[in-house]
């Protein structure tokens, strides 16, 4: 039996603008997905949580199964657990793909190869989403810590890899980086979930329409890129006031692009007085917000008073991890 786990993620800077080539920063969170795999002894087909595995229902699992098959071709039983809320923009699907890749590498008696995990799980997510997935979620879940995605190789960051992928007949390319953040004691991140499902594709299309009809508003995406670079530098310097300020500025531009929602704004207003900075995280239209805070319990309480669900997470949560091997 092999058990692995991988973290979810939140976006600290740069959502939406990253679709147009600007840098974005994601960090791992302490909510994880866990995958347990053992050889299926009773049935001669693969099983998922006690039922026959249906490839069409789980295209990302099917993609990974095909690319990392067990060496003896014996069917396996996959069990999935986890604490990352689904469809909330926190990367639960990517974390599942990453944990599964790691578990299958173990079953194949290979050592963990994070670059392979990050690549296969990214392709699996893209396949499941009809071609459109950036490598941000899967890379952050694989490597843990901070991951910066950009269309250019960013100076002053540690380069991880360049990823290319054919998307609808076009070659897309992303450069992935990480860096050492200097986070002082006592600063944490609070994630607040509106419980409202925001559709990523609807939000991305909404921004695309806005930019098509008002090309001059592309400057707002460039502004987000500039805020992201400044926020990353402040994280390297350990200046948390400046990080919080950059987060709040990033949120104001996202709001002006029309991707916030009344539910997000309510949680933002509740969290702001006890926080250094607040913003929505992910595609918006619902989903989650984050607060950088020195008073995490107070911030959680304020968000919950407004009907949100909240949890505290710390920085530098580990990426893919082997939990157990028998
Ligand atoms: C969604 O989590 C982040 C977006 O920037 C979309 C994307 O990067 O594919 C809104």
pLDDT, one tens digit per residue, over 134-189 is: 899 999 999 999 999 999 999 899 999 999 998 778 898 999 999 999 999 999 99
Q: Is the CB of 281 under 6 A from ligand 1?
A: no
Residue 9 Cα to ligand 1 midpoint, Å, equals 12
Q: Is the CB of 16 under 6 A from ligand 1?
A: yes
Q: Buried b / exposed e across 243-257, counting CB within 10 Å, b at 16+?
A: bbbbbbbbbebbbeb
Pick the CATH number of 2-180+317-325 from 1.10.10.10, 3.30.230.10, 3.50.50.60, 3.40.50.300: 3.30.230.10
- pLDDT confidence of 64, banded at 50, 70, 90? very high
Q: Is the CB of 18 under 6 A from ligand 1?
A: yes
Residue with tokens 């309510």: 266
What's the rounded Cα separation, in Å, for the pair 25 and 283? 14
pLDDT per residue as tens digits for the range 11-26: 999 999 998 999 999 9
> What is the rounded average pLDDT of the residues 245-266?
98
Q: Where are the domains of the chain?
A: 2-180+317-325, 188-313
DSSP code at position 196: P
Share of the chain above pLDDT 70, in %: 99
What does the pLDDT read at residue 317? 95
> What is the rounded average pLDDT of the residues 97-102?
98
Checking if the pLDDT of 63 tops 80, the result is yes
Which of ligand 1's atoms lies nearest the C-alpha of 89?
A: 2
Checking if the pLDDT of 43 tops 80, the result is yes
- pLDDT confidence of 325, banded at 50, 70, 90? confident
pLDDT per residue as tens digits for the range 189-241: 999 999 999 888 889 899 999 999 999 999 999 999 999 999 999 999 999 99
Checking if the pLDDT of 265 tops 90, the result is yes
What does the pLDDT read at residue 293? 98
Q: Is the CB of 278 under 6 A from ligand 1?
A: no
Checking if the pLDDT of 273 tops 80, the result is yes
pTM score of the predicted model = 0.95
Identify any residues that bridge with 115 across adjacent strands, giving them in sequence order. none
Which of ligand 1's atoms lies nearest the C-alpha of 11?
A: 2
Checking if the pLDDT of 131 tops 70, the result is no
Residue 218 Cα to ligand 1 midpoint, Å, equals 16
- CATH number given to 188-313: 3.30.70.890
What does the pLDDT read at residue 41? 84
* Mutation choice for ligand 1 from 10, 17, 18, 129, CB with most ligand atoms inside 8 A: 18
Residue 152 Cα to ligand 1 midpoint, Å, equals 18
Q: Which residues contact 8 (CB under 8 A, 6 or more apart)?
A: 28, 29, 31, 32, 33, 84, 90, 91, 92, 94, 95, 141
What does the pLDDT read at residue 224? 98
45 CB-contact burial (10 Å; exposed 0-12 / middle 13-18 / buried 19+): exposed
**Could you give the C-alpha distances from 215 to 209, 212, 221, 222, 227, in angstroms and in order?**
10, 6, 11, 12, 20
Q: Which residues contact 276 (CB under 8 A, 6 or more apart)?
A: 187, 240, 241, 243, 244, 245, 247, 292, 293, 294
What's the rounded Cα separation, in Å, for the pair 167 and 84? 28
Checking if the pLDDT of 129 tops 90, the result is no
Which of ligand 1's atoms lies nearest the C-alpha of 15?
A: 5
Q: Is the CB of 119 under 6 A from ligand 1?
A: no
């Amino acid at each position: 039996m092999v058990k692995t786990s991988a973290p979810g993620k939140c976006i600290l800077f740069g959502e939406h603008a990253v679709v147009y080539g600007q840098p974005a920063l994601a960090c791992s969170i302490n909510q994880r997905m866990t995958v347990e795999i053992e050889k299926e002894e009773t049935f001669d087909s693969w099983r998922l949580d006690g039922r026959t595995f249906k490839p069409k229902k789980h295209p990302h699992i099917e993609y990974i199964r095909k690319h990392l098959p067990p060496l003896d071709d014996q069917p396996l039983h996959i069990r999935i657990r986890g604490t990352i809320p689904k469809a909330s923009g926190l990367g639960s699907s990517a974390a599942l793909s990453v944990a599964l890749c790691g578990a299958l590498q173990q079953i194949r008696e290979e050592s963990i190869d994070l670059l392979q995990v990050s690549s296969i799980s990214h392709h699996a997510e893209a396949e499941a989403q009809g071609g459109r997935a950036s490598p941000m979620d899967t890379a952050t879940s694989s490597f843990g810590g901070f991951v910066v995605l950009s269309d250019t190789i960013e100076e002053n960051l540690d380069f991880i890899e360049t990823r290319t992928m054919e998307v609808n007949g076009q070659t897309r390319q992303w450069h992935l980086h990480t860096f050492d953040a200097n986070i002082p004691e006592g600063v944490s991140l609070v994630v607040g979930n509106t419980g409202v499902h925001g559709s990523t594709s609807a939000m991305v299309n909404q921004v695309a329409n806005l930019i098509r009809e008002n090309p001059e508003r592309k400057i707002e995406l460039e502004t987000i890129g500039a805020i992201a670079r400044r926020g990353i530098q402040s994280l390297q310097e350990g200046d948390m006031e400046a990080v919080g300020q950059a987060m709040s500025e990033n949120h104001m531009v996202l709001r002006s692009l029309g991707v916030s929602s009344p539910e997000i704004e309510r949680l933002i207003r509740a969290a702001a007085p006890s926080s250094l900075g607040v913003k929505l995280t992910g595609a918006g239209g619902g989903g989650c917000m984050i607060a950088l805070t020195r008073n995490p319990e107070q911030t959680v309480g304020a968000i919950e008073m407004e009907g949100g669900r909240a949890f505290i997470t710390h920085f530098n949560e580990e990426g893919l991890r082997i939990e157990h091997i028998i």
